[in-house]
Amino acid sequence: MILLKNGIVHTMESAPFTGDVLIDGASILAVAARLDAPDAERIDASGCHVIPGIIDAHCHIGMWEDGMGEEGADGNECSDPITPQMRAIDGLNPFDPCFDEAVAAGITTVVTGPGSANVIGGQFAALKTHGRTIEERLIQAPIAMKAAVGENPKRVYGDQKATPYTRMAIAALFRKALTDAQEYQTALDEASRDPGKKPERDLALEALLPVLKGELLMKIHAHRADDILTALRLAREFNLKISIEHCTEGHLIADVLKEQTDALCAGVILGPLLSDRAKIELRNLSYRAPKTLFDAGVEFALMTDHPVIPIQYLPVCAGLMVREGLDEETALACITKNAARVVGLSERIGRIAPGCDADIAIYSGHPFDYRARCITTIINGRVVYSKKA
């Protein structure tokens, strides 16, 4: 057992308070103003902020390895615009040094996977940031299917003189892939009654079946307002469970997002915001977006899109939202509770509550204070990082 004593505890379920957290094995056992466990290892958190382990709900850590150039770039299979059979766990390197930097910043969970070159790019995975192997770290794979609309597939395949050249073609390819998967499911259903009709196994179409059934989240990369609306249109057509990734111009249609995401969408994963306007789609990038979305009632998480923003700066990105008008607890929720909810892991992570995974970061000051540093990171009930303030 581990007993954290006298910290400023942010449970993400109520207002912060000074109190204790008791960890038993890999789970949180109790949270209260005062707890006692004589046999537990004690960690004095007096004056420190105790927060849930931070979650990056959309990144590419391990897929583009730090300092490796093309040799370490394994996130985009640019040979075909439709590759749902690609799996992040087969391409990411758990020994990427950026995982250590994530741990040292109190980031305990990452949702990582393919990039946005393809209309349908493959399967994301959710994993803890510490452990010897992917299997040791794994929370869930697949956690989501990646799709993309807009500039990136146009550029990648336009440069190859191949489809898609246009946004029309992107949507058409998306529809064809999902329609083919529907037909594949029909053939499988028929084969269950008549084994002689069993179709040849197709791993790409097979990977899309849980998406069609609403069992697997589809992360749709969309920056521009019109691309966001296209993503929502496609979701309606196939009754998909989606999240809007990036949502750079979402603040321009915040009222529409509120109306349509309540019914169609698991949520918005905003960002990266601490970035330059490297392409046309980003011309309306603004740090005012989070407050605008919040005021419209749109719940969102925050991402780094690592390596676009180095993952250890996720708390910095959240802190800048406070400077632009968001309150501290809402901003903290964007990298803890909200992030867990949008990817379907809120029963396990994102909160300090009995039964949740014992993933905790202890900061010497408020995590949005640039002078504060993470001094202890706990993952699955084990202290995996410790540094004096």
pLDDT surpassing 60 at residue 389? no
Mean pLDDT of the chain: 96
Q: What is the pLDDT of residue 266?
A: 79
pLDDT surpassing 90 at residue 262? no
Handedness of CA 144, 149, 155, 157 (dihedral sign): positive
Q: What is the pLDDT of residue 383?
A: 98
CB burial of 241-253 (b: ≥16 within 10 Å; e: otherwise) equals: bbbbbbbbbbbbb
pLDDT per position as a tens digit, 127-167: 999 999 999 999 999 999 999 999 999 999 999 999 999 99
Q: For 315, phi and psi rounded to 5 degrees?
A: -65, -35
pLDDT per position as a tens digit, 175-234: 999 999 999 999 999 999 999 889 999 999 999 999 999 999 999 999 999 999 999 999
Distance between CA 3 and CA 15 in Å, rounded?
21
pLDDT surpassing 80 at residue 94? yes
For residues 117-122, give the mean pLDDT: 98
Q: What is the pLDDT of residue 388?
A: 66
For residues 61-69, give the mean pLDDT: 92
For residues 373-388, give the mean pLDDT: 95
Residue keyed to tokens 């001094």 = 375
pLDDT surpassing 80 at residue 268? yes
pLDDT surpassing 70 at residue 65? yes
Q: Full-prediction pTM beyond 0.85? A: yes
Could you check whether the bond before residue 16 is cis, i.e. omega within 30 degrees of 0? no
Given a contact cutoff of 8 angstroms between Cβ atoms, the answer to whether 184 and 199 are in contact is yes
Q: What is the pLDDT of residue 261?
A: 75
High-pLDDT (> 90) share of the chain, %: 95
Q: What is the pLDDT of residue 18?
A: 98
| Bridge partners for 32 per DSSP | 20
